[in-house]
Amino acid sequence: MTFTKKPNELQQSLGQKSLLHQMIKQIRRSLDLQEILTTTVSQVRLFLDVDRVKVYRFNASGSGEVIAESIHEQRLPSLLGLNFPADDIPEAVREMFLLIGQRSIVDVLNGKIGLSPVKLIESGKHLESNIYYRQVDSCHVQYLKAMGVQSSLVMPILHSDLQEQSAKPKLWGLLVAHHSEPREILKRELKVLQEVTDEVGIAIAQSNLLTQSLAKQEREATINRVTTLLHKLPTIQLHKALEEVISGFGGVGGRLYIEQNGELYTWGDQPKLPYQLDNSIIEQHLVWQDWMAECKPGQIWASDDLYKEPRLRVLALGFRSTKIRGLMVIPLHYREKFIGVLSIFRSEFETEILWAGRCEENRRQVLPQLSFELWREQKKGQSSEWKPEEILLAQALSEHFSMAIEQHQMYKHVQMLNTNLELQVQEQTAELQKSLLLAKVLKQVTEHIRRTLDLQTTLQSIVREVRPLLNSDRVLIFQMKSRSVIVEEINGNWQSVLGLNAPSECFPDEYNRLSFLGRVTAINNVSTAALSDCHREFLQNLQVQANLIVPIKIGLELWGLIIAHECAAPRDWQDAEIDLLQQLGDQAAIAIQQAQLYEQTCNAETESRNQAAQLEHSLHQLKETQTKLIQIEKMSGLGQLVAGVAHEINNPVNFIYGNLCHASDYTEQLLEILRLYQLHYADPHSEISTAIKAMDFDFLLEDFPKIISSMQVGTDRIRSIVLSLRNFSRLDEAENKRVDLHEGIDSTLLILQHRLKGNAEFPRIQVIKDYGNIPLVECYAGQMNQVFMNIFSNAIDALEMGKVWPPVGISGNGEGGAPSRDQEQWGMGNGDNENNPYQMPTIHISTKVSVDNSRLLIRISDNGSGMTKEVINRIFDPFYTTKPVGKGTGLGLSISYQIIVEKHGGIMECISEPGKGTEFWIEIPIKPKPTIESKILEGL
């Protein structure tokens, strides 16, 4: 088809160059290959003004896929993502595309194909001749008609490896333009498209180079991470290194088997050999071991489908229950020595290929494809191919694993040799240490006994230390005065003899006399020893087969006996053991004597302590009185300070306030005179006109009265603050006087106003006042203000620590008014908190008079985090606080309780539950009865 409009060739040439520059600029703007191809087809379609432009990429099998496409108003169906068989483009045609860069132009209506070679095959010279047309094959024409195409243009896209200068270009794909109507392709258009395809080829090479570079960086990063786990950490991390390797290869599982000790590390999916095979560990199977014996150092074995490997025919049974199909085996060698094997598993997957129609193979060469309807071909049991760069990575990792495992085994071998050497040294020095052990232990036991002066603790320490020292079954202390066992230490399930009384008839006087003289009695075998029948029967009833008795003498008195029992079998007592127990008996006598003296001292001290307790109680009462006086003096000083500040501010403010009304009147009079001047002298002097313009006289006349008004509002505000300070200090009134407590509450809230305002981290605290109609109450106004100050401060601290507000996006206006717009968005301030996860920080104040009009009830509550029952029980104790260190002294509520209960004869209670806030209940008489304390304080 010939265009109906032919512009000037020079202008068209300049326009094409500009368009070519724009197209190349768009292509070079990105390194992403898909984005480059998408831009290319879009720009080429606009340049040629055709219905469809696509990029066709060849696969390794010879088939091809449409990977980029641009269609004009859906005039042709989309082929994006469809695959075409290899026979659609014969091998000879592909060779012509590659060898001479041939470009084909098909005119379906006239049945002609135009061939435009770039260079000759023989000489390699570039041709500048026109397009040569010949008759096109009828099969090709029917193929294009089935696609709805009347004219087509095919440009080869060649790709060269930038890293190899001598590498020959390869046919990467085709740039195809389709039009549903006949169209003439001009030579200058081919020239532009040839430069575009050349740029696309360069972009493809750069994209591949970038992909290879990123893959190389990832492999190097994997090697670095594995090297760190194997060599640079304090201990070798084989399991983590295995996990890192599997992740680097994109595997689903893997194994590391060490031949020398049979250690096996696994991660991810694992095979499991059937029971009928020789061994459940695949690396210990004879077939696997014979295979590994054939492997040479540095040899990597990789298979995309392990079920197709003849040597794995038997072992493949263990993989049937898994989805493992790809397998890489990395033998580990260290200087020709086989260390073990590292295995990587890859999972099978399913693939789906979208074909442009389904065509029978036996008819493909006879008839063209008449339908391009989508046909899905699904393949199961597919696995990724092991790439050459992955084999190189496996070889590098093999060296690191082999070296690390060998070094680790050598280290363990050296450790074992050192351990054996240490055992030999220990055996040689054991006898030397044994001779020193008894003396050392004796010293330790003696020091331990003397650490305490409590008699029972001392005796229990003696038997507890002596029993393991002698390695006997039972050690006890027998007291002569009570003739019973008072302490014991047992090893094993032998019966206890604690509290047992010894029959006096079984021990003759001679036996007691020898013990009194300090004679040590050692019985190696109760059955054969020269004992009375009564004595032997008594010991056998206690399961004793050998015993050792050492007397404990205090002065000339035999206090008791240390007795060691051997119950399992007879025992020959050694001289060192007898001597040791005898020395311990002497030390025990000293310890017992000291404990007795200490007990006498404690009795005398107890009597003195009782006397001191009374003095301490009196001192405590005195301290409480001092604390009250200090607090009174503190509040008095605070009140004087507040009153002084209020007085000093009040004088100048009253002066300003009193003169502002006169200043306002004078201003109005002066402004009226100025208006009269403007009315009667409308044409002032030039200098006056210039000054009026310079000072913006109209704005001055408008703004000056506003300034006077703002100053009046400010002085009113200062006077109200001063009045609140004076009400809080109450120094201008008698201490005990009938006052309006509402004024005290408001004054206290005014002083705490800076803490009630919101900021960036915490919203404002809403104060709800539910004041009743209460009379004037006779009380100590300054101290009541102190109570209000302590309760409000604690409530603010509880709200700030409890965080019942939204953490972000909420702020208050700080003036106790309506909630802000952000608070309304969170549902705050509307009173509906049933379904709201956040609550507005709120302090609620309520006052009312009792039914009999004798008492005033004040309730102050907050919606903070609340308190537990344990905290409430101690909330009014002096110096008790739940705040962090430095945030509170623990005296505020204690003093408040004293002021309400002791000073005013009222009631103060705290009601709280975790998560439900806290409420303080204050009840005071409207006219309290005078107390002794109040009279004393009034006298002060």
Calculate mean pLDDT across residues 541-552.
88
Chain segment 232-276, per-residue pLDDT in tens: 777 888 899 999 999 989 899 999 999 888 889 999 999 887 765
Percent of the chain with pLDDT over 70: 78
The residue written with tokens 């210990």 in the block is: 284
Give the CA angle between residues 352, 354, 359 to the nearest 5°: 115
* DSSP structural state of residue 384: P
Chain segment 628-646, per-residue pLDDT in tens: 666 556 656 656 666 666 6
Measure CA 86 to chain center.
55
Percent of the chain with pLDDT over 90: 13
E-state strands within 348-434: 349-356, 374-382
Give the residue with greater pLDDT, 812 vs 478: 478
Question: In angstroms, rounded to a whole number, what is the distance separating the alpha carbons of residues 305 and 35?
Answer: 34
Closest by Cα among 195, 255, 170 to 17: 195
Calculate mean pLDDT across residues 901-923.
90
Query: Can you give the pLDDT at residue 58?
Result: 92
Chain segment 424-437, per-residue pLDDT in tens: 777 777 656 656 66
Chain segment 566-582, per-residue pLDDT in tens: 998 999 888 878 887 88
Calculate mean pLDDT across residues 872-899.
77
Question: In angstroms, rounded to a whole number, what is the distance separating the alpha carbons of residues 585 and 615?
Answer: 44
Exposure b/e, 28-65, CB count within 10 A at least 16 = b: eeeeebebbbbbbbbbbbebbebbbbbbbbbeeeebbb
Length of the chain as a residue count:
940
Residue 139 has a CB neighbour count (10 Å cut-off) of: 12
In which element (H, E) is residue 862 found? strand 855-862
Q: What is the pTM of this model?
A: 0.43
Residue 803 has a CB neighbour count (10 Å cut-off) of: 14
Confidence at 886, pLDDT banded by 50, 70, 90: low
